[in-house]
Amino acid sequence: MMTPNNPVPRRAFMKAMASSAGLVLAGCGQTEPPTYGNLLRMGDLLTYKAHRLLLPEHSLAHEYEYSDVTSVPAIGTTNPGNPARSIYSAEFGPVYEQLRADEFSGWRLTVEGSVMRPSAFTLADLKRLPSRTQITRHACEEGWSAIAQWTGVPLRTVLEAAGLQSGARYVQFHAYDDIVDGIDMLDALHPQTLLAYGMNGRDLPIGHGAPLRLRVETQLGYKSVKFLRRIVVTDHFDDNGSQGTIQNGWSWYAGI
Ligand SMILES: Nc1nc2c(c(=O)[nH]1)N[C@H]1C(S)=C(S)[C@@H](COP(=O)(O)O)O[C@H]1N2
Ligand SMILES: [Mo]
């Protein structure tokens, strides 16, 4: 019953809104443009808003059996230390090469930005945190998909260890090949969003992003940034400039 003292719970209100499709997008006040406001990008914005309204929070991506695991091609950068590759960072490529030579003993993941305790994690630090193993399908925007088992620490656990500040809304991932990409807090806190150091029961291979990659099971393959070096929590949407997806012609939001 709806009286001023007994308002419809927000969730029920959103459900009612969602059933009258035309009103869904107009009723959305909590999402922020994940992209620029030009016409060509309108579709991205609509997809993002529709997903954020219609998908149950933290609905899980399907998980498979180990017998379903397939071979997975290594795509995009397969070694950030190789200057012959198209995406090569003159600054971080040589750093990666040295880290790899030392079997990543000197590697650190820094967590910065809107956190209470900016931190630097070694691989051993991350492996000491509670881990999660999941067998999921990776869907590349190029049209292929493959199934693998991933082991790592939920991003949520690392963010909680660093302590999110109250304004924190997005998380950016910086890689050794100079790619930077970001996700919103809903995907960042999703239980299947992992910082993965293992694949199919072994250490993550170089070609698949060693020593640490992101797994975002709710989005297309390119959002699962490989070769991580730095995580930055932000209060505001950041397109990450010329290193980001948007200026390179990709959708910032690639929900599946
Ligand atoms: N740093 C970095 N991350 C990246 C890429 C890349 O080139 N560099 N390619 C992306 C794309 S398009 C896909 S499909 C997956 C491929 O992961 P895989 O090599 O483990 O199959 O990584 C994504 N993450
Ligand atoms: Mo991809």
The pLDDT-based confidence of 32 (bands split at 50, 70, 90) is low
Identify the structural domains of the chain with CATH numbers, from first to last. 8-54 (no CATH), 61-248 (3.90.420.10)
| Residue closest by Cα to atom 8 of ligand 1 | 77
Whole-angstrom Cα distance, residue 119 to residue 230? Answer: 10
Residue 71 in tokens: 């071979």
Q: What confidence tens digit (pLDDT) does each residue in 55-96 have?
A: 887 889 999 999 999 999 999 999 999 999 888 999 999 999
Whole-angstrom Cα distance, residue 125 to residue 66? Answer: 27
Residue 171 near residue 183, CB atoms below 8 Å:
yes
User: Is the CB–ligand 1 distance for residue 243 below 6 Å?
Assistant: no
User: Is the CB–ligand 1 distance for residue 217 below 6 Å?
Assistant: no
DSSP at 217? T
Global pTM reads 0.87
User: Is the CB–ligand 1 distance for residue 113 below 6 Å?
Assistant: no
Q: Which atom of ligand 1 is nearest to the CA of 72?
A: 21
CA proximity to 121, closest of 131, 130, 108? 108
Q: For residue 88, what are the CA distances in angstroms to 75, 115, 241, 243?
A: 15, 30, 17, 12
- CA geometry: angle at 197 spanning 118 and 157, to 5°? 40
Q: What confidence tens digit (pLDDT) does each residue in 163-220 have?
A: 999 999 999 999 999 999 999 999 999 999 999 999 999 999 999 999 999 999 999 9
Q: Where on the phi/psi map is residue 117: left (φ > 0), alpha (ψ -120 to 50), or beta?
A: beta
Whole-angstrom Cα distance, residue 69 to residue 64? Answer: 8
User: Is the CB–ligand 1 distance for residue 140 below 6 Å?
Assistant: yes
